[in-house]
Chain A
Amino acid sequence: MSDAKFFQRGKIQELRLELNSDKKDRNYTRKKQTLKKIVANMTMGNDMSSLHPDVIACMSIPVLEVKKMVYLFLINYAKAKPEMAYEAIQTFRRDVEDPNPLIRALAIRTMGYIHVDKVTSCLIQPLRHCMRDQDPYVRKTAAVCVAKLFMQDRHLVENAGFIDLLREMLVDSNPSVVANAVAALTEISERSDHIQLQLNMSIASKLVTALNECSEWGQTYILESLMFVVPQEPGDAEMLAERIAPRLQHANSAVVLTAVKVIVYLMNYMSREEDILSMCKKLSPPLVTLLSSGPEVQYVGLRNILLVIQKHPEILKNDIKIFFCKYNDPIYVKMAKLEIMFRLASEHNVEQVLSELKEYATEVDVDFVRKAVRSIGRLAVKIESTAQRCVEALLELIQTKVNYVVQESIVVIKDIFRKYPNQYESIIGVLCENLDNLDEPEAKAAMIWIIGQYADRIENSDELLDDFLYTFLEETVEVQLALLTATVKLFIKRPTAGQDLVPKVLKWATEEVDNPDLRDRGYIYWRLLSTDVAAAKAVVLSEKPHISTETDNMDPVLLEELLLHIASLSAIYHKAPTTFIPHCKPRFLIPSPALRRQNYNVGRTLQHQDSYSSLHNSSSAQFHQSQSNVRSSQSDGDDGNGGLDEFVSSPKQPQHQRLSYHEQSFEQVAEASIGNQEYYEQKINAENPYRTDTGAVGGSQANKGGGVDLMSFDL
């Protein structure tokens, strides 16, 4: 029997009559049909809320299907009509005591959806019961319900003892219940200002045991929660990683990627290189497998792979072929693959990579072709031995005369000239044949830079520049700046050829253009040239700083943060979650005696801190103070890395601190430790903010027996 007929727009009055009809209704078949019509109308967006007294009257019918539809109706309209929810409370109360566990669970689940204060307060008592229900289905539903309730009323959940009840559920005999409890705790921890989930090794170990038996989604929850384990000894990290490694072979890609995340995280706490290497070896095959899935999964996989290989270049270093693009890959997959190919390119495989890139440059998609051409240039800069072949490839592409290919090639050839000065000037002639076709500012500026740089080698460099200067005032600033500098270079290298052009350009730059950069640069050149030509020469023709593809690397601090968010949105956007998700709790590597030192380049990191602080202008004064602290410790040369570690692990908002408490009363059950605001404020005042290491060691030792494994630290 088809349900499609229910989509016919039913008149409310008719439906009401049908629902209240006195006709004999064996087994409520008629009522069921009518309710189906109502639900169908509701989903079409027709307002059925005026039927609520009649629908609620059906709640007492002891048929699950009917109940489900009535509950669906209630959830849909309760927000708009709270009085409707009040009428249903009595039946709710009856249903949570029903002998059928399905009905108990359905009732508790539905109540959790109804965000009406009166209903919420009626939920507390039954929910507590359900969390200790004898039926695991009810218990697991109740666990999720606590997370639901938390979204509505945080204080209620924190003060009514629900957190403790959830914590008890972590040792439940049913793995599905454990998984849901852990999911609820993680959820609450991520959302709460002053609850922070932290798991010690003994509970982590229990959770890993439950992993084997629970559903695929349950496995993701449990794996995710392992991100809140801070191994105190390297052996802990290795043991845990070893035990979750089988998850890498799960059929569900979410399980796989979450396992990758946890293992990459744990690797920070491993001490022996060979353990790390062996883990890296295990990570490659599952990442490859992700690429045989559908395009969405591939895309998520690729973006995450790009992060992982920056931290651990050993991973996938022999698997470059799987990143070669198929012509019918979606464009976003191709783009992501291209980036990885570039990263994995090395002396060994550069031949293949280059021939692939040449292939891609003949495809139809403009953006992809551009990126391929650009990659050829970057490849030349990255691997010196291949530069010659890359240049040849680019020349071939220029010969195709396809406009955007030519322009893109010229932009990257400029970089090659910068990296390898005076090696490839012979190709300048070919470049100059294409001057007339350049219409993109970046390509124009690149070509002008080349002409200026080699003004003394190009016979007619003055004529070429003169041609460009013809439209000087209409050009973009980028091109104008390039023209200005190139003309000055020409004048210095060949004074007679440049003497007519220079005054013209300087006059335009300083008098006819509004852009302050251009004007300032014009004045500087003017003064230099008019006072001391030798000095001008030294400045303008000075040795250029080296360029390398290092600049393509992601900032290590950001990378570290993103690695803690593998498999999440931020790992796809490659943006810190705090920059686009409101109220997001930042994650950081928590120091422990086992944490490996991060070998960051100090200069780069400091540079990053500046951009960081400007990104987070709202952050407190304490944050800035912490920065200066890091700086001074570095400039003193004493334990610069230690300072950095702390920086990396500093939370940006003070309310997110973890805290320690040593209440032994939690011995039996309190393996997941969670604290409250009052306590932690006292604690912070007592602690020296930079004593994290000792604090952690002490904390872990003091608490080993108790199963509570916490530490506190401040910025």
Chain B
Amino acid sequence: MTLFSLFTNTHSDLFSDRKVIIEKHWHELIPRRVVDFFNDQVSRAMADGEDVTREDVLPIISSPKYQLINVYRDGLTYLSPVTKEVDPMMVFEFLHRIPDIMQEYFGQVSETVIKENFVTVYQLLEEMMDDGFPLTTEPNALKEIVPAPNILNKVITTMGATTSVSTRKMPHGMSNLPWRKAGVKYTSNEIFFDIVEEIDAIVDSTGKAVSCEAHGAIQTNSRLSGMPDLTLSFVNPRLVDDCSFHQSVRFNKWESDKVLSFVPPDGHFRLMSYRVNLPSQQNLPIQVKPSINIGANGAKFDITVSLRNTDGKPVENTVLTLPLHKSTTTLTAHCNVGQYMFDPVGKVLRWDIGKIVPRERAPVLSGSFGFGSSSEAAGNAGYNIGVEFLINSHSLSGLKVDVLKLFNESYKPYKGVRTMTKAGRYQVRA
């Protein structure tokens, strides 16, 4: 259940320059040697095969004395060595919270950002965990204990006018609603809901979905004063199932009335996430038809993209990526829409189509590629096309917000709802 130490180190494929940026121990000192051991294991795993990337390294590595639990995000590794039986899910959740919170505080997460704000980072880590027990991880509550480095604070520190502790009122997450701070005030009250649905799918070369699922999330940005008590209802709540909620949502209300009743935290948060089971391929908004004919020395291919169920909306930011076999050396192609690029080092063909408007000509990419040396493995390898796209003002599930009611406060907030469908882990087998 407990995590005792944390090392954050950089990771770079090009240089073997992996240094520790943050080192924090909540219990006893764990020697830095353990980081060397870890880096060793990572290098070894990655030397295993040419296709093994940093992402393929196991998130839990056993060492003689420690179990090395690690998360790799944005080029940084968050490493926590543990010696006893722990709940790794909890450690992962916690490790992910660290960059989440840093993002919230500093706007981005990188080695430079951490170094620029390291005193704040250490203060945060100190508050986020005590002796291995996660303590305060709600951004709202944390911001009351550790002030975010905003312009005002900077001015105050440069002017030398500091707020003394004793004048500050009792804060920190011990209110009845641990996720909301007291005394929030805005001149214009507004709340925005983004309903984002992502499609995870495996589609075979005939266009049939082998497996297909959609996950939705309602990302919320609340800028409301005081203690607003909200009720959000949907036109068709039964379209979603298997929901999980932000802790502010009253679960019983959902069970009985299918409405979301909650007092929101201040700022950005994920109100709810859910799953939409798609009955058939008819619901897929886009169809990618690849054909790849492989010979001994290379292959001819063409890929056609067409729109299907988009309610007449255009599909935007469409990008197809086709990883080719490692022995591929040459590629020539032609496309009628967008532009393509072949990365001869990573052996990836990337076709940037951009916007596809319904009833306009279907984008086609055709061409051929050649293997440097003819090999049986290359001839038999399977091909997969990764698909990215996004459709604005469209929700795959059809989920629609009905009304948002506000209680406990008298102002009339501005309410905004946007929907968006995009590709998640979406791939087509060729």
Which of A's residues lie within 8 Å of B, judged by CB? 1-4, 6-7, 26-29, 32, 36, 39-40, 43, 45, 62-65, 68-69, 72, 79, 99-103, 109, 112-113, 115, 135-137, 140-141, 144-145, 147-148, 151, 174, 176, 180, 183, 186-187, 190, 212-217, 220-221, 224, 246, 249-254, 256-258, 285-286, 288-289, 292, 294-297, 299-301, 321-322, 324, 326-328, 330-332, 352, 356, 359, 362-366, 400-402, 565, 567-570, 572-573, 577, 580-582, 584
Check if A569 sits within 8 Å of B160, measured CB to CB.
Answer: no
Whether A215 contacts B178 by the Cβ 8 Å rule is: yes
**16 more A-B contacts (CB under 8 A) besides A64-B165, A246-B255, A327-B382?**
A4-B116, A27-B164, A39-B119, A43-B118, A214-B178, A250-B244, A251-B247, A253-B92, A300-B59, A300-B92, A330-B55, A359-B382, A565-B85, A568-B85, A572-B88, A581-B83
Task: Return chain B residues, CB-CB under 8 Å to A295.
Answer: 55, 59
Closest to A258 in B: B87
A580 vs B133: C-alpha distance in the bound complex, in angstroms? 23
A64, B123: Cα distance in complex, Å? 11
**Residue B246 at the A interface, CB < 8 A?**
yes
Contacts of B58 in A (CB 8 A): 299, 332
Q: Does B257 contact A (CB under 8 A)?
A: no
B418: interface (CB < 8 Å): no
A-B contact pairs, 15 of them (CB 8 A): A29-B162, A39-B119, A63-B162, A187-B2, A250-B244, A250-B245, A251-B270, A299-B58, A324-B202, A326-B200, A362-B381, A363-B382, A365-B49, A569-B86, A572-B60
Q: Please give, as numbers and ranges, the residues of chain A lying within 8 Å of B160 by CB-CB distance.
A: 26-27, 29
Find the A residue at minimum CB distance from B171. Answer: A102
A317 to chain B minimum Cβ distance, whole angstroms, is: 16
Whether B334 is near chain A, meaning CB under 8 Å from some CB there, is: no
Chain B residues in 8 Å Cβ range of A327: 323, 382, 384, 386, 427
10 shortest interchain CB distances as A-B pairs: A362-B382, A285-B242, A321-B211, A254-B90, A327-B384, A296-B59, A64-B165, A217-B134, A2-B116, A254-B89
Distance between Cα atoms of A487 and B247 in the complex (Å): 70
Instruction: Give chain A nearest CB distance to B405 CB in angstroms.
Output: 22
The answer on a CB contact under 8 Å between B92 and A144 is: no
Alpha-carbon distance between A400 and B375 when the two chains are bound, in angstroms: 11
Tell me if B241 is interfacial: C-beta within 8 Å of chain A.
yes
Q: What separation, in Å, do the CA atoms of A46 and B356 have in the docked complex?
A: 58
A285 nearest in chain B by CB position: B242
B104 within 8 A of A: no
- In the assembled complex, which residues on chain B have CB atoms less than 8 Å from the CB atom of A363? 381-382
Q: How far is the CA of A1 from the CA of B165 in the complex (A)?
A: 21
A577 CB, nearest partner CB in chain B, Å: 5
Q: Are B211 and A324 in contact (CB under 8 A)?
A: yes
Q: Could you say which of B23, B90, B126, B376 contacts A68, with CB atoms under 8 Å apart?
A: B126
Chain A: CB-nearest residue to B116: A2
Contacts A39-B122, A324-B211, A569-B60 given; indicate if A253 touches B89 (C-beta within 8 A). yes
* Set of chain B residues within 8 Å of A569, measured between Cβ atoms: 60, 67, 82, 85-86, 88
Once the chains bind, are B174 and A174 in contact (CB under 8 Å)?
yes
A567–B1 CA distance with the chains assembled, in angstroms:
10
**A217–B166 CB distance below 8 A:** no
Contact residues in A for B377 (Cβ distance below 8 Å):
364, 402
Residues 185 to 206 of chain B near chain A (Cβ within 8 Å): 200, 202
- Which residues of chain B have C-beta atoms less than 8 A from A581's C-beta? 83-85
Contact, CB under 8 Å: B211 / A289: no
Candidates A148, A254, A331; contact of B87 at CB < 8 Å: A254
Binding site for A on B (CB under 8 A): 1-2, 22-23, 27-29, 32, 49, 51-52, 55-56, 58-60, 62, 67, 71, 82-90, 92-93, 96, 112, 115-120, 122-123, 126, 130-131, 133-138, 145, 154, 157-158, 160-162, 164-166, 170, 172-174, 176, 178, 200, 202, 210-211, 213, 215, 241-247, 251, 255, 270, 273, 275, 323, 325-326, 376-377, 380-382, 384, 386, 424-425, 427, 429
Q: Which residues of B contact A565 (CB under 8 A)?
A: 85
List chain A residues, Cβ under 8 A from B130.
109, 141, 144
Q: Which residues of A contact B244 (CB under 8 A)?
A: 249-251, 256, 286, 289
For residue B89, which residue of chain A has the nearest CB?
A254
Q: In the complex, what distance in Å separates the CA atom of A580 from the CA atom of B32?
A: 22
How many Å lie between the Cα of A187 and that of B96 in the bound state?
A: 24
Residue of A nearest to B243 (CB): A249
Contacts of B376 in A (CB 8 A): 400-402
Residues of B within 8 A of A69 (CB): 119
CB neighbours of A572 from chain B (8 A): 60, 88
Interface hub of B59, B157, B158 (most chain A Cβ within 10 A): B59
Q: How far is the CA of A400 from the CA of B379 in the complex (A)?
A: 9
User: CB within 8 A of A3: which of B60, B90, B118, B176?
Assistant: B118
Query: Are B92 and A296 closer than 8 Å at their CB atoms?
Result: yes
Residues of chain B lying within 8 A (CB to CB) of residue A252: 93
Chain A: minimal CB distance from B22 (Å): 7
How far, in whole Å, are A165 and B172 apart by their CA atoms in the complex? 24
* Cβ distance B350 to chain A, nearest Cβ, rounded Å: 14
Smallest CB gap from B127: residue in A: A68
Q: In the complex, which residues of chain A have a beta carbon less than 8 angstroms from the beta carbon of B162? A: 27-29, 32, 63, 65
Q: B255 CB to closest chain A CB, in angstroms?
A: 8
Contacts of B120 in A (CB 8 A): 3
Contact A103 B245 (CB under 8 A): no
Q: Please give, as numbers and ranges, the residues of chain A lying within 8 Å of B172 by CB-CB distance.
A: 102, 137
> Is A322 a contact of B211 with CB atoms below 8 Å?
yes
Least CB distance from A318 to B in Å reads 11
Q: How long is the Cα–Cα vector from A581 to B246 in the complex, in angstroms?
A: 35
- A400 near B380: Cβ-Cβ < 8 Å: yes
Closest Cβ of chain A to B347, distance in Å, is 11
- Is the CB–CB distance between B85 and A366 below 8 Å? no
The residue of chain B having its C-beta at the shortest distance from the C-beta of A321 within the complex is: B211
Closest beta carbon of chain A to B316's beta carbon, Å: 22
Closest residue on chain A to residue B429 by CB atoms: A359
CB-nearest residue of chain B to A145:
B131
Using A101-B170, A251-B244, A285-B242 as known contacts, say yes or no to A299 and B59 having CB atoms under 8 A apart. yes
A186 and B1 within 8 A (CB) = yes
Note all chain A residues with C-beta closer than 8 A to B49: 365-366
Contacts of B380 in A (CB 8 A): 362, 400, 402
Closest A residue to B123 by CB, please name it: A68
A251 proximity list for chain B (CB < 8 A): 244-247, 270, 273
> Measured between alpha carbons, how far is A362 from B382 in the docked complex, in Å?
5
Q: Is the CB of B165 within 8 A of A285?
A: no
Q: Which of the listed residues B172, B244, B246 has the most CB atoms from chain A within 10 Å of its own CB?
A: B244
State whether A144 touches B242 (Cβ < 8 A): no
Give the distance to chain B from A454, nearest Cβ to Cβ, in Å: 28
Contacts of A113 in B (CB 8 A): 131
**A100 touching B247 by the CB < 8 A rule?**
no
- Whether the pair A297, B425 counts as a contact (CB closer than 8 A) is no
Partner of A285, one of B241, B384, B424: B241
Cα distance, A321 to B213, chains bound together (Å)? 9
A18-B245 Cα distance, complex, nearest whole Å: 51
- The smallest beta-carbon distance between A173 and chain B, in angstroms, is 11
A486 smallest CB distance to B (angstroms): 29
